[in-house]
Structure 1
Amino acid sequence: MPRTRRLLLPLLAAALALPATLAAPPAQAQNFFERLFGIKPERPPVPPRGVPEGPPAAPAPGEPGPAAPGPEAPRPAPVPARPVVLKAPSEDGVIGQELQLNGTSGTLKLERAGPSVTARIKLPGTKISQPAESCTVPLANGNPITLSSEGKPEGAPRFEAAGAECPLRFDVVEGGILVSSLGQGPVCTFSNADCATTPVGLWGPAGATLIPRAGEFDTARGVADKAVRDNYKLMTQRARREDVRPIVSEQAAFSADREQLCRGYAREGTHGFCHLRVTENRALALATRLGANTAVPTASVAPRRSRPKPAAEPAVDGVNPDTAGEMPPE
């Protein structure tokens, strides 16, 4: 009887708690029976450590796969913190040299006369009566013309001959002079000489003499182009919103004017002298407008010098140079 009572008591308790257990959530009901009958729950299997996970399952046919990461958006070029200043040219580099318009015709020679600078100019042109024939007109009958110094309003030395028969402006570049007109147009007509001249352009050395320096000019051109771009970006950043559009238009006009100006220079496609000098002066002009001190350059266009190779050791008679330094066989 006592043993039967022991067996019936748990069953009776289970029967009384069955309605509440069925109404409880499954997890609570499972815990009740485990406590009642002393059943220990099995722990879920733990995956072994260090086992690499398999590759993700391939999508079923017709289903889109995971989206591939798109390409990164290009980052804008950083704006320089200060203007880039190239080395400014000096009139001493052209004093005494005979320069030619586009390296082919006419002559222009600057000379010093005490504190002043003078110019002897022969302007090339075409005959008014016979446009197919060329002509030359010496200004002031070939006498030197005293030039007025206008300082460096755009970073490079500037001189003017405002009172000459053909009023001209002279902007010095490295190894040449950029001539522009102070009159109503680019043409100066001399009726007595039956000659119409167009002196506007770059006066410099003959084209053939510049070809050996083509590599030097090409390297310097990259530095000058970058200086123009950096100064242009800095100028647009500092400008007010309403002033940005005129700056952009001016830069676009410069590129077109440079192509037009340098198109006629002799052998320009081979050496690039005109493009380089015009670009350098443009970079200086932008730096001057940005308030930079153009007397102190911050960029150099000089090519880097390569280190000389060490000299080879002199050969010794009777020794194979390929086996020099090896121990002789015993």
Structure 2
Amino acid sequence: MLALSTSSAARAQLALPGAVAPAEEGSVAVGVETQAKPAQKKRPRASSEGASGPAIAPKPPSEDSVAGKQLWLDGSRSLIELQRPAGELQVAKLTLSGDSITRSGESCRVDVAGTPLKLSPRENQGGLRRYQVDFPACPFTLEVLDGAVLVVNEGGACELKAADCRADPNGLWGVPGAELTDPKRAAEMLNQRARVEKTVRADFQALYDKNKTDKIVRKLLVREQAGFSSRREEICRSYAQESDFGYCALRVTEARALTLGTQLATGVKLPANLAADDQPAPRKPGRSKR
């Protein structure tokens, strides 16, 4: 059943087939590596291998960092609430904000009915925990960061026609902008981000050196690193208070650091089509020259 209010910002409740799964309910803070005393044995980092043993993959953020919290897209718009009532993460509440499909210039808001929505684990070579949301009207995946989730929907914005609403779930869902007010916290975030970026640069260089004889892997690594800053800017440009706090940029950079650390420990897994694309084209049959 769909109910629309008469206010300028349309509000709807959307119950769609397949959106309910009642049967199955279902940090990466990259620390600063302090210099150890000569007599101490240093724990191996993901970016190095040596006498201490192979690199160790960093631990991904736990679902506990997001369970029971309300996370806001860009800190102010759409809302998702995740719960773990029986140990399995699920969507307890989902509200999508967007623009009216038929009424130009009007905003809309859809409260998704039929929650909880099931979350199905998906493979992720980047080291983060990834889930597919069981919501056929607007299918998307989310990756668990430290107290936030990064949502990806390959199809872009979703058209929820029953609610006359077009909403885009892509982006970082985290703390509301209203909580980003303390200047001291802003300074802490900016300093922490600087440290994480230093780790990203060091681990990228170590990963590049480790694969310097593999042209295909090298090419992939350079392309991903070169595109990281622009991708981060695209994700975070609309986050509330971002210019002062850099909250979104910090979380996305932490995710990048975890990906690089995981690749150092477990190896770089090429996309299925990349190796084939980089192979030389087969020779055309013809007469051989003498």
Mapped contact 1:90–1:156 kept (Cα < 8 A): no
Give distance in 1, aligned partners of 2:159 and 2:173: 20
Q: Which runs of 5+ in 1 are unaligned?
A: 1-79, 294-330
Q: Which residue of 1 aligns with 2:176?
A: 206
In structure 2, do the counterparts of structure 1 residues 270 and 156 end up closer, same or farther at CA, with 3 Å as the change threshold? same
Q: CA deviation at 1:96?
A: 0.9
Q: Which residue of 2 aligns with 1:197?
A: 167
Q: CA deviation at 1:191?
A: 1.1
Q: Which residue of 1 aligns with 2:115?
A: 143
Q: CA deviation at 1:224?
A: 1.0
Secondary structure class of the residue paired with 1:113: coil
Which of the residues 110, 119, 144 maps onto 2:82? 110
Q: Which residue of 2 aligns with 1:247?
A: 221
Moved runs in structure 1, 4+ residues, more than 3 A? Answer: 80-88, 150-153
Q: Deviations over 1:208-227 (max 9, x none)?
A: 31232212211210121011
Give distance in 2, aligned partners of 1:110 and 1:90: 13
In structure 2, do the counterparts of structure 1 residues 233 and 195 end up closer, same or farther at CA, with 3 Å as the change threshold? same
Does the alignment pair 1:89 with 2:56? no
Per chain length, whose mean CA-contact separation is higher, i.e. which structure has more relative contact order (CA < 8 Å, sep 6+)? 2
Q: Which runs of 5+ in 2 are unaligned?
A: 1-46, 50-54, 268-290
Give distance in 1, aligned partners of 2:80 and 2:203: 32
Greater share of helix: 1
Q: Which residue of 1 aligns with 2:144?
A: 172
Q: Which residue of 1 aligns with 2:198?
A: 226
Cα RMSD after superposing both structures: 2.2
Give distance in 1, aligned partners of 2:189 and 2:58: 14
Does the alignment pair 1:270 with 2:244? yes
Give distance in 2, aligned partners of 1:157 and 1:245: 26
Identity of aligned residues (%): 36
Aligned length: 211
Give distance in 2, aligned partners of 1:102 and 1:201: 7
Q: Which stretch has the larger CA shift, 190-199 or 209-218?
A: 209-218
Q: Deviations over 1:102-138 (max 9, x none)?
A: 0011210001131321102111110011231111123
Q: CA deviation at 1:163?
A: 5.0
Q: CA deviation at 1:88?
A: 3.2
